[in-house]
Amino acid sequence: MKYKVLVADDEYMIRKGMIKLLGKYSDLEVVAEAEDGEQAIELAEKIGFDIVFVDINMPFINGLQFIEKLKDIQPNAIVNIITGYDKFEYVRQALRLEVFEYILKPLNEKNFEDTINRITDTLVKKRSEEKYLQWAKSALGRNKHGLIENFFDQCAKQAYSKEKVREEMQYLGLSQYKQYSLGMFFLEQLENADIRKHWEEQLIYYAAENIARELFDRLAPVITFFGKGFLTLICRTETANEMEVILREYIETVERFMPVKVIAAHKSGDDTDQMSRIYVTLLEQMNELKSYPSIIKKVKQFIHSNYQREAVSLLEAAEYVNLSPQHLSRIFKNKMGITFVDYLTQVRIGKAIELFQDEDLKMYEIAERVGYTTQHYFSSVFKKELGISPIDYKSNKKKLII
């Protein structure tokens, strides 16, 4: 591909001589010529030039004025001044306008050839830089999620200084957010094997990410990425209520169409310097929330294995899962919707009803087998739970069977 050249000089013979001289270089093509600054501007607005040769003293708009306007139209063109004036003021202005070469008339062909070689070397380098810059931008676009994930991962490890954090956020486009929200999601797959066999984990997260991009698009720009086992979303938001509304819609949509339970947390901010800290806070919160299902499952197993013992307690269950009683009580209530004691009572009552089928068992024996030391206390709890005494319940059940 040849480099496109403009020659602008009000003297016809000099202009044509310059064009003839440039014709010796196979990688250059003079695509336009101008006899004054105004004509040169009109041409620059229509044609993209790689190289410009311009005289300083031209009518209407002189060479320096033309160069100043050209910087707005074609800032990447390599501009060279050709003049018979070796004035300091001209040279000073040329330097200010970042002119590539200040060439004095009459032209010295050897010096001019050296200038052309330097111009073409510069253009080759610029084109290579632009090529690799475009490649880097393209690669950044393709790998942006991974780069952002790595950035926050390094923040979580406290591997970056404040200056490095700002630099990375600028590079990744995160500093554009003035008021923003971070949302973090864990998709807990349901245990139904028939449902799960059609939904691989990768497919679930791919679908969940697409739903997030669609629903949160009204709070654009939106960035999503996977990190530490969570889907993380960053979006523009002006009020916490905006995020809350779409968050509820998102959770309902995902749980309606996919075999998952969504565990979510979010936090808003108005200082991008705090964004990495907010991410770390959410990560800690989500790791705790993520562990709830397995903890609750263990506690339920503990209750079903120990409900026969009167002494089974929240304290004992908390020690079993290495949590404080207060912490276990809170997460059990949040997850199950009832307290630990209420769940234990429901299990005991359910087991007692199963034992009613054995006609040889006395009521006090049933009470003891489900963790109550006295029949009286068992009867009191049973009636409070179901609104009927265990004896009446058993009797009515028997009548229904008959």
Whether residue 370 sits in one domain with residue 262: no
Q: Where do the DSSP E strands lie in 160-204?
A: 180-189
Please state, in angstroms and rounded to a whole number, the distance separating the CA atoms of residues 348 and 364.
14
Residue 122 lies in a domain: no
Q: What is the pLDDT of residue 133?
A: 53
Q: What is the pLDDT of residue 174?
A: 80
Residue 150 lies in a domain: no
pLDDT at 129 over 70: no
Whether residue 270 sits in one domain with residue 203: yes
Residue 116 lies in a domain: no
pLDDT at 21 over 70: yes
Whether residue 333 sits in one domain with residue 257: no
Please state, in angstroms and rounded to a whole number, the distance separating the CA atoms of residues 196 and 189.
8
Whether residue 103 sits in one domain with residue 14: yes
Please state, in angstroms and rounded to a whole number, the distance separating the CA atoms of residues 1 and 41.
24
Where residue 36 sits, what CATH number does that domain have? 3.40.50.2300
| Cβ–Cβ < 8 Å for 49, 28 | no
Whether residue 372 sits in one domain with residue 307: yes
Q: What is the pLDDT of residue 131?
A: 63
**Helix axes 109-156 and 12-22, enclosed angle (nearest 10):** 70
Neighbours of 234 (CB within 10 A): 23
Q: What is the pLDDT of residue 48?
A: 92
Whether residue 257 sits in one domain with residue 221: yes
SS3 for 29? strand
Residue 200 lies in a domain: yes
Residue 131 lies in a domain: no
Tokens 């790791």 found at: 287
Whether residue 242 sits in one domain with residue 315: no
Tokens 């998952």 found at: 260
Q: What is the pLDDT of residue 38?
A: 92
Quote the tokens at residue 72.
């707005």
How many Cα neighbours within 13 Å face the side chain of 395? 5
Where residue 310 sits, what CATH number does that domain have? 1.10.10.60
Tokens 């009636």 found at: 383
The total of structural domains in the chain comes to 3
Residues counted in the chain: 402
Between 381 and 171, the higher pLDDT residue: 381
Between 196 and 48, the higher pLDDT residue: 48
Q: What is the pLDDT of residue 400?
A: 44
Q: What is the pLDDT of residue 197?
A: 52
What is each CA distance from 241 to 8, 54, 221, in whole angstroms?
62, 61, 18
Which of 153-157, 177-181, 331-335, 389-393 comes out lowest in average pLDDT?
153-157
Beta strands at 3-8 and 260-269: parallel, antiparallel or unpaired: unpaired
Q: What is the pTM of this model?
A: 0.45
Q: Collect all residues with Cβ–Cβ distance below 8 Å to 205 and sequence separation of at least 6.
A: 187, 226, 231
Q: Provide mean pLDDT across the span 327-350.
A: 88
Which of 29-43, 59-73, 191-205, 306-320 comes out lowest in average pLDDT?
191-205
Q: Is the peptide bond before 221 cis (omega within 30 degrees of 0)?
A: yes
Q: Is the peptide bond before 106 cis (omega within 30 degrees of 0)?
A: yes
Q: How confident is the model at residue 135 (pLDDT cuts 50, 70, 90)?
A: low
Q: What is the DSSP string of 82-113?
A: EES---HHHHHHHHHTT-SEEEESSP-HHHHH
Residue 28 lies in a domain: yes
Please state, in angstroms and rounded to a whole number, the distance separating the CA atoms of residues 33 and 47.
11
Quote the tokens at residue 98.
């970042």
Where residue 190 sits, what CATH number does that domain have? 3.30.70.270
Q: What is the pLDDT of residue 194?
A: 47
| Cβ–Cβ < 8 Å for 58, 33 | no
Whether residue 321 sits in one domain with residue 270: no
Whether residue 335 sits in one domain with residue 269: no
What is each CA distance from 141 to 71, 152, 267, in whole angstroms?
29, 17, 26
* Percent of the chain whose pLDDT exceeds 70: 91
pLDDT at 163 over 70: yes
Whether residue 325 sits in one domain with residue 263: no
In which domain, by residue range, is 395 found? 297-401
The DSSP letter of residue 107 is: P
Mean pLDDT of the chain: 84
Bridge partners for 4 per DSSP: 29
Q: Collect all residues with Cβ–Cβ distance below 8 Å to 383 and sequence separation of at least 6.
A: 389, 390
Which of 6-20, 115-129, 182-196 comes out lowest in average pLDDT?
182-196
Cα-Cα end-to-end distance for the chain: 98
Q: Provide mean pLDDT across the span 209-218.
A: 87
Whether residue 354 sits in one domain with residue 234: no
Q: What is the pLDDT of residue 156?
A: 74
Between 234 and 138, the higher pLDDT residue: 234
Domain end, chosen from 270, 288, 306, is at 288
Q: What is the pLDDT of residue 193?
A: 43
Please state, in angstroms and rounded to a whole number, the distance separating the CA atoms of residues 236 and 268.
9
Domain end, chosen from 288, 317, 349, is at 288
Q: How confident is the model at residue 192 (pLDDT cuts 50, 70, 90)?
A: low
Q: What is the pLDDT of residue 219?
A: 83
Domain end, chosen from 269, 288, 307, is at 288
| Cβ–Cβ < 8 Å for 261, 294 | no
pLDDT at 199 over 70: no
Whether residue 327 sits in one domain with residue 272: no
> 271-330, pLDDT tens digit by residue?
877 888 888 888 888 887 777 777 888 899 899 999 999 989 999 999 988 888 888 888
Tokens 């070796």 found at: 86
Please state, in angstroms and rounded to a whole number, the distance separating the CA atoms of residues 275 and 231.
16
> 95-125, pLDDT tens digit by residue?
888 888 888 888 888 888 999 999 998 888 8
Residue 335 lies in a domain: yes
Residue 167 lies in a domain: yes
Q: What helix, strand, coil percent values describe the chain, rounded to 5?
A: 60, 15, 25
Q: What is the pLDDT of residue 34?
A: 93
